Amino acid sequence: MNTPEDSSLGREVAYPDRYDPGLLFPIPRAGARAAMGIDDNALPFIGHDRWHAYELSWLDAGGKPCVGTATLYVPFDSPALIESKSLKLYLNSLNGVRFNSPAAVCERIGNDLSARAGAVVRVSLGLPDMQQHRKGESLDGLSLEINDYGPPNADYLGTLAGGPVTEILFSDLLKSNCPVTGQPDWATLEIRYHGAPINREGLLRYLVSFRDHAGFHEQCVERIFHDLINHCQPQQLSVEARYTRRGGLDINPWRATPGFLPPVPVRDLRQ
């Protein structure tokens, strides 16, 4: 079976002392999408999952250790996502492997991830720059009484009267929990849209209702995109979550209506 319960995820495991691509644990996307009412064969969005790897090391051709960072792009339409702890273990399995060049490191990681995700995964060394100036308006200063922390409640979502607007809204208050370990996952969520004005109070209540929800990062972003499309019906929509680092990795899923340009890759201060 290919479920988290059948793996070593969430259990104490020894760190690998040799290269092992079998450590990578794919989780099919279709099941969670079906539970949300998303047809995996007719996806309503485009996007990617951008990973930042902060703890990467290998040996050069002479056996001297090298260290680096990496950015990985997993396409939204890959049959599977990669569980983060398994990626951490896999990257550590490269610690004793000799490579002729940094390009060979990227090629090996890309090939192994592509084989497990079922689609081409792009890998490059280095990380995006830190974001210096945020665009848009924060929801977090709204004065609200909130006592609903889950499950996610899309009934809060709605629009206000008025003509279409083009807005960027963000919040640092998105939190969910790992469905395997129960550990908290924190993120900044950025919403770009064109359409009827979204009710900001309702949007913030909705985001806070993820607080006790157990879901993988990618699944949470797809749920938010799906709920906004269904309840607010924007003409254009982009949803990106920039999650904080855990285990030397952070994940930044992005989903958008077709035709939307990908966001400029950046890292937040919390990352």
| Residue positions forming the annotated binding site for substrate | 82-84, 217-218
Q: Which amino acid is at 77?
A: D
**Binding-site residues from annotation:** 82-85, 217-218, 246-247
| Annotated catalytic residue within 172, 185, 227, 250 | 185
Alpha carbon distance 184, 84 (integer Å): 14
178 a catalytic residue: yes
How far apart, in whole angstroms, are the C-alpha atoms of residue 165 and residue 72?
A: 33
Residue 148 falls in the annotated catalytic set: no
In whole angstroms, what is the distance from residue 177 CA to residue 211 CA?
Answer: 8
d(CA 184, CA 245): 11
Instruction: Please tell me which residue in 106, 178, 220, 232 is annotated as part of the active site.
Output: 178
CA angle 191, 197, 201 (to 5 degrees): 75
Helix residue spans in the chain (DSSP H): 30-36, 84-92, 102-117, 200-208, 217-232
List active site positions: 178, 185
